[in-house]
Structures are given as structure tokens and as C-alpha cells.
Amino acid sequence: MTEAVFRETTAEPRTQAVPLSHLSLELGHLYMEDFEAGAGHLRRHFARVRPWVEAARADARDRAGGKRPRVSTCFLVDDYFARFAGPADVVPLLLAEAERAGLTVDYLARESGCAVTGKVPVAEAVAARIVEEPPPGSYGHRPPTARTGWLANGVRSPTARAPQAMRKATAWQPPTETAARRHSVFLDVELWNDGADGARLWSCPFLAAVWQLARLGLLRHQGEAVFAAEPHTGAAFPDDWDDLPPLVRLNPRADPFAAYRTCSVLPNRFLPVEHAVRVILDQTDVDREALAQVAERSGREGVPVPGPVTDRVSYVYYEGA
């Protein structure tokens, strides 16, 4: 006798789809020292960014087969590691200097939203999806990332230990990159550290990796999309960062925030951080349904995306600030 199984449709797992642009173009980050440097500092930044924005738009147009590409711009403000001024002071200045350079910021994001968005522990959820690549020849001597908060792209040098009686000390060995090409570029990335009070502080590279996943439309929590943009009503910006949504749509005519590919135009001081971001993304088990949705939609548009998530991410670095 076959037993009938009844299941409510609402109990079926569902992965929410998100609208996608062709390109998410990041116009920069803003840290406390950038704001303290004044309007002239931001003015110089946007002046350096503008030519590369035009080049990125031209590349997006070529990838779209000559059609008008959907390109959205975004800007990330660090309100996680240091609180400075407030949105009422920072945002109007930021937008005014971008406009002076002929640029439009479509979306403004708070870095603290990459740690927690509403009641969703975004960073914690991404950390749970990290799958370390076992380097060839490793024997599990190194504690797992979940315990240490460190993630490497290979094997670090063995720790020197005092030799036991009648045994020779272990000879020094260099660190090795797992996917090295002739020579290794070994990187060991700190993802977080825990304070004496037990509070976890996520690292800048890890939050930047979460930011990239958000821009690629690949973040989900229990099937629901994370980092949904809230439109700016046109009212004055609040005095406190906590009163500003994690992601704000400043331009009502903007293309979707998330995109098939991302490009970030940044000062070259960000290069080490973004190298770490790529190491993290390479070892993150991204939501399979979200990946499938992007692949299906981009293929239908005739603009297929690379399989590896890191290959969807690009950068332009300029000298200075």
C-alpha cells in the first residue's frame, strides 16, 4: 500500500529571483579619513574615476552586443569600523562632488549592512558557506577556518618546533599557493577576530567579499534575497547611520542594483584587500539556485557569464588617494 504524502506548497524551498543589470559599477568607498580630508579630496577622487567609468560603460555595451547596457552605479560608506559625522552631513557632500564630476550615484550602501541587514546575520551566513580547499599533501595539521578565522590560498610554512631526542629539527619549507603558476603568491586572510567580550569583528576583506556577492545578486537567506534597495523619498537624510537603510536607491530611474558582473574603480591602496576578496570568493559555496538563475537569464539575453564567481569581478586601480 502506498502512503500519500501531503505537503503545503509554502513549505517547498524557493529561491527568490532578483532583477539584474549587466554591470554594477562601484564609484568608490568612503572611510572616515576620506571624509575628514574634505570636499577637495572627494573632488579629486571622482575626477580620477570618471574616465574609467566611461570605459567600463563602453565595455558593457560591447558585451551586450551593442545594445544599451543596464549599468547601475554604487558607493559604499564605511560605518562599520568607525562612525563619523552622519548621513545628513556626508551624503549631500558625496552626491554634490559626484555630480560636479558628471557622475550619478544610483545606490548608496552602508558597510555595516554587509555584517547584518535588518535581522539577517549576512556575514555569519556567508562564513558558514566557506569550504576550504585542501591543499595537496596537507594532513589537517592546521585548525579549520571556522575555529581560527583565517583562510589561506595554499599551505603556510610549517611551524618550527623543538626536535625530540634523537630526531633532527624539521627543515624550513616555504608557503605554497594551491593554484600557483610557476611561482607561489601565498595569502593568508583574516576573516574575523573575537574580542574579550565575545563580540565578533568581521574583517574588511570579508565584508568586501559579502559586498561583491550582494552586487552579483547571489546573496540569499532562507531563499529570500538579501540587500533589497529602499528608495530615497527625497526627505532630508538622517543624522544617525543606523536610521539609514543598508542600501538606498538614490536615483529613481536607476537600473537594478545587482548585476551579472561588477567593476570597482578604486585607489590602488585597495589592491591587497581585493586580492583577499578573491581568495574568499574562490572558497565560498555560493547558493546554487541563485547561480542557476543568473546563468539562465544571462544566457537567454545572449550575455553569458563565467562560471567562477571571481571571474565576474573586475577592478580599475588608480594611483593616489
9 found inside a domain: no
* Of 303, 289, 285, 297, the residue nearest 225 (C-alpha): 289
282 found inside a domain: no
156 found inside a domain: no
Q: Name all contacts of 99-104 with Cβ < 8 Å and 24+ positions apart.
A: 100/43, 100/46, 101/43, 101/46, 101/47, 101/49, 101/50, 102/50, 103/27, 103/46, 103/49, 103/50, 103/53, 103/73, 104/73, 104/251
83 found inside a domain: yes
How many domains does the chain fold into?
Answer: 1
26 found inside a domain: yes
pLDDT in tens, the chain (321 residues): 445 544 444 445 588 999 999 999 999 998 888 888 889 999 999 999 999 999 999 999 999 988 899 999 999 999 999 888 899 999 999 999 999 999 999 999 999 999 999 889 999 999 999 998 766 555 556 778 888 899 998 887 766 555 565 566 667 787 878 877 888 888 999 999 988 787 899 999 999 999 999 999 999 998 899 989 999 987 899 999 999 999 999 999 999 999 999 999 999 999 999 999 999 999 999 999 999 999 999 999 999 999 999 999 999 999 875
- Which position has the grid cell 599551505? 155
In angstroms, rounded to a whole number, what is the distance separating the alpha carbons of residues 104 and 317?
A: 20
Give the per-residue pLDDT at 2: 47
Print the domain residue range for 225: 16-119+203-267+287-318
155 found inside a domain: no
